[in-house]
Structure formats: structure tokens, C-alpha cells
Amino acid sequence: MRFSLFPVAAMAFLPWHSLDARPFTNSEGKTLEAEIVRASASEVTLRMANKRTATVKIASLSEIDQTYIRKWLAAQIPPLRVTPNMVRKTTKESRRSFFSSSNRYYRQIYDLGVDFQNNDNAKELEKSSLKYMLIGRSLSDPKKHKVLAVQTREFEVPAGGGHTVSFEKEQNIYSEESSYGSYKCIGFVLYGARKKDNREVYTFGSTPQLEEALYSIIQLRERDVADENFQPVGERTRSSRRDSRKPEDLPGILDPQRGEKPAQEPKPPAPPIIIR
């Protein structure tokens, strides 16, 4: 809806509490306070103190206001349509384990791609980063969570175009009867930010719990352990050679015979010492 903005200039005297509000002045010298809602190359929509909006030609405003609007427009993130495409798969496996009396294990496989579509035909999304975090819950203590994996990718989206951010496939192995701190993956979060000013581009949590705690989760690091509110509890699994192994190597790692030393053949007796 379009309004003539400055016949309502008296609204400038109403109390105004928005941190983004500022005075706007037209070519006739009339001023009111408002905040920008949206803008294009030729028009700007302002929200006034009574919450009504008015759309006016940018050229009808003062030079100072026009410069401010151009800077505001340049700083904005273009409107994006974002679609996370997650393919999940869980398989049951059997193997011997030193850490559990059961030989039933589950392998969770996560394959994620995120499609970005820029709905602005005039403005590109400049270089940004997208962080992907897999979150697990302890099977022995449901109040404990763990960051199972973290990946980060850089990307750009051209004006009016699209881009797909692809991540490496992640796998998590757990046992419901293990006593070795087994964690079952419960979902993932995404956090995107523009590189030049760290301005937020996109956020996503695959469950309501993760969505609510997203800003706490993104402060954690890979292998961090956190409480039910996703605050770190001072535990972090140590980095070891196992971290660099592929999931398919784990059956050998979990084999209890792997740590056994091979039987050694008895050494032949030493020859007798003869003293003449």
C-alpha cells in the first residue's frame, strides 16, 4: 500500500523507540521519524511510529536521506530461498566389541546439500560461509549432548541465480547397550554468515530443540560435550589417531583381539660359556 508520506509529518512528535528509526526529510523540508522496512533502486518503504507503512520515491527525499538509503540497501542480504536436502540412512550391524556385551551396532549416514536461490535480480550474495554441525545425545545420560561433526563451506550466490552447497558425507556409529559413552545423532544445525561483516545470512535447526538452542550450539567445537541447554560441561573427547580414520575402519578398532599381543616363539637357549 502506498501513502503520501509527509502529510502525516505530525507523527514525528510521537514517542519512537526503534533503534533503527531516524529523521527523513522530503524536498519541501518536512520531516518525520521512521525506519526502513524495505527498499529498491527507486522506492523505499518506511514504518512510522503508529506502525503504518508508507512507500515513497527515493528521489523525493533529501540528498542525505538518499545516500543513507543507498548504503542501507547495499548492506542488506538479498532475499533467499534456502532448501536443506538431507538424506539419512541407518543400518544395523553386528561385530564384536571390547566396550559392549552386545554385538549390535547402528551406523547413521548423513548426506547433506543446501540449495540457495537468490530472489533479487539486482543484488548478489557476496562471499559467505555456511557451518554444518551434527549433534548427538548420550544414550547413557540423556542430558548430555555432543558435537559429532563440524564442516564449513564458503559460497556465493549471483543475482537472480542459485548455488548448491555440498558437504562431505558424515557417519556415526553407536550401540544402545554400549558403556563407552555412545551418542546417537538427533539432528543438525546450519548457520550462514557473510564474510565481510559477519552478518547473518541463514539459520536452521532440524528439530525444535536444536532451533531454540542454535546460538548456543554454534559456539561449540567438534567433539565438545554439553548439557541439556547446550552449555559446555568441560568435557571434550581427546583427539587421537582414531579421529583421522574412516568409519569403515572402526570394526577393526572395536575388535577386542586388536589389542592383544601376538604370541612370541620361545627364544633358543644361549650357548654355554666355556672357561679354559
State residue 242 phi and psi, 5-degree precision: -65, -25
pLDDT tens digits along 118-149: 999 888 999 999 999 999 999 999 999 999 99
- Residue spans per domain, the chain: 6-75, 80-254
Give the closest residue to 185 by CA, choosing from 112, 134, 113, 243.
134
Give the closest residue to 187 by CA, choosing from 165, 204, 169, 164.
204
CA distances from 57 to 68, 80, 224 (A): 14, 25, 52
Q: CA angle 245-205-178, nearest 5°?
A: 45
Entry pTM: 0.67
Low-confidence ranges of the chain (pLDDT < 50): 1-3, 7-16, 239-260
What nine digits make up the cell of 44?
523505499
pLDDT tens digits along 193-204: 999 988 899 999
Do the beta carbons of residue 172 and residue 185 sit within 8 Å? yes
pLDDT tens digits along 84-100: 999 999 999 876 555 55
List all residues 6 or more positions away from 55 whose beta carbon is below 8 Å from its beta carbon.
Answer: 1, 2, 3, 43, 44, 45, 46
Of 2.30.30.700, 3.60.40.10, 3.40.50.880, 3.40.190.10, the CATH number of 6-75 is 2.30.30.700
Do the beta carbons of residue 38 and residue 54 sit within 8 Å? no
